[in-house]
A = this chain, B = another copy of it.
Amino acid sequence: MAKELLSVQPYKGTRDFYPEDMDLRNWFFGVIKDTLRKFNYREYDGPTLESYDLYAAKSGEEIVNEQTYHFQDNGGRMLAVRPEMTPTVARMVAAKLGSLNMPLRWFSIPNLYRYEKPQRGRLREHWQVNVDMFGSDSIETDFELLLVASSLLKAFNADETMYCIKINNRRFYNDLFEQYMGFDKEKSRKVSKAIDKKGKMSQEAFCEYLAEIGLNGEEIEKLNSFFEKSFEEMMELCPESKGTIELKSLFKLIEEAGMSNICEFDFSIIRGFDYYTGTVFEVYDKDINNNRAMFGGGRYDNLINLFVDKANVSGIGFGFGDVTLENFLVSHNLVPELKSGMPKVLVTRFPEVPYIEYLKIAELLRQNGIAATVYTDEKKLSKQMKYAADEKYDFAIILGGDELAAGTVVVKDLSKGENETVSREDLVNKIKI
């Protein structure tokens, strides 16, 4: 009977993390966690499955309708496999509003799912670092998030030639559209969607698109001129806007902190989600082969109100994906050779020595902070040694009948290829050095 074999491939757009892949992931999540903890951000997590309503209420439409995996459970509840973390964190903050000390500094590294065509840097499952502050709407808070974003990249030894932060403000451009351009809310919304897609189309296509959504020639010309103007010129267009005041204060802090060389105003930074209300920003890789947004974020002041009426707890945060970060680190040659903190030892075995003797040696080593394994099969010593070398063990221990009688073991240093006979008492020190 021919047997139908199962596929060994993971589901399209998802990844298997073999130990080498996992070492890399653990290393870079470790660097991120250490850095965020130095800023007193605390880790949280939420469920992978959430009520579908959570996303329908607040995200941009595209995400919910086309890209979110969703299904009904047997009890008739519509569930989503989380496509982003912000709704979850907003829900969690809302649930404990009375007992949380504001401001909150929180982070999480969830895996997220989106149903989309897999391509470079875009997978169906990826891990996303989410960094958020709740309960403070000062401009110093907006600045802190930029500083944290920059500090994360610096923690990987990225320097300022490798990345830049592009900043805009949703209050500013809403006021610019409504007060200066005279658009109504609906037209403003359509125009901001158009600008969000601008990077992915030609200038000609962009103008055609603007015409399609109802802008006349003069409006299109005016809108295009925004991308040519300096920061100061732009600020002059809408001087009374709260967004203008925020942008000016933010760039003043950026200058004082010596971050002007990595931060720039960019009117094309819009961010897809509808929930942003103030500062929005993206961190760009400056490598010409990978010139794309890595981090994106902004201020969202009304999200908690979806759960608690008139809560008025402001929020600001950013996120970035593991694939994007990995592409950045690899293209800038920032991935070091990864080393485990502990020496790895293989205790080899011979049939004539009681197995318990090997177990004792391994246990002694582990109690002294050394990773130790006893070879479990009865194979020739050469096979056991090959295994130790292939698996990148640092040392192998050899204990035959003679050594057992003499109270010694042979320690083979696999990187140097040297053997040394030591007493059982000296074994730990020999390996620790």
A residues whose Cβ falls under 8 Å from a Cβ of B: 3, 5-12, 14-19, 21-23, 25-26, 37-40, 42-51, 53-54, 57, 69-71, 73-74, 77, 79, 81, 88, 91-92, 94-96, 101, 103, 105-106, 111, 113, 115, 124-125, 133, 136, 138, 140-141, 144, 147, 151, 253, 256-257, 306-309, 340, 342, 344, 346, 354-356, 359, 366, 369-374, 376-378, 387, 390-391, 393
Contact = CB atoms under 8 A, between A and B. Distances in A.
Nearest to A77: B11
A100 to B, nearest CB: 8
A111 to B, nearest CB: 6
Contacts of A346: 40
Given A8-B307, A11-B50, A125-B48, A105 B373 contact: yes
A369 B38 CA distance: 7
Contacts of A393: 40
Nearest to A45: B17
A356 B22 CA distance: 39
A44 B69 contact: no
B366 A39 contact: yes
Nearest to A389: B101
A19 B106 contact: yes
Interface hub of A26, A71, A77 (most chain B Cβ within 10 A): A71
A115 B79 CA distance: 12
A23 B26 CA distance: 17
Which among A25, A47, A371 has the highest number of chain B CB atoms within 10 Å? A47
Nearest to A370: B38
Nearest to A133: B376
Contacts of A113: 48-49
Given A3-B309, A49-B125, A138 B377 contact: yes
Contact of A17 (B46, B91, B370): B46
Copies in the complex: 2
A28 to B, nearest CB: 14
Given A17-B46, A48-B125, 11 more contacts: A5-B308, A10-B47, A11-B47, A21-B44, A23-B43, A38-B366, A38-B369, A40-B373, A47-B125, A74-B115, A257-B359
Contact of A43 (B10, B19, B92, B257): B19
A44 B22 contact: yes
Given A38-B366, A309-B3, A144 B374 contact: yes
Nearest to A306: B6
A101 B378 contact: no
A8 to B, nearest CB: 4
Given A91-B6, A115-B74, A49 B22 contact: no
A12 B49 CA distance: 10
Contact of A376 (B23, B74, B141, B306): B141
A96 B18 contact: yes
A250 B10 CA distance: 36
A46 B16 contact: yes
A378 B74 CA distance: 51
B17 A354 contact: no
B40 A91 contact: no
A77 B17 CA distance: 22
Contacts of A141: 376-377
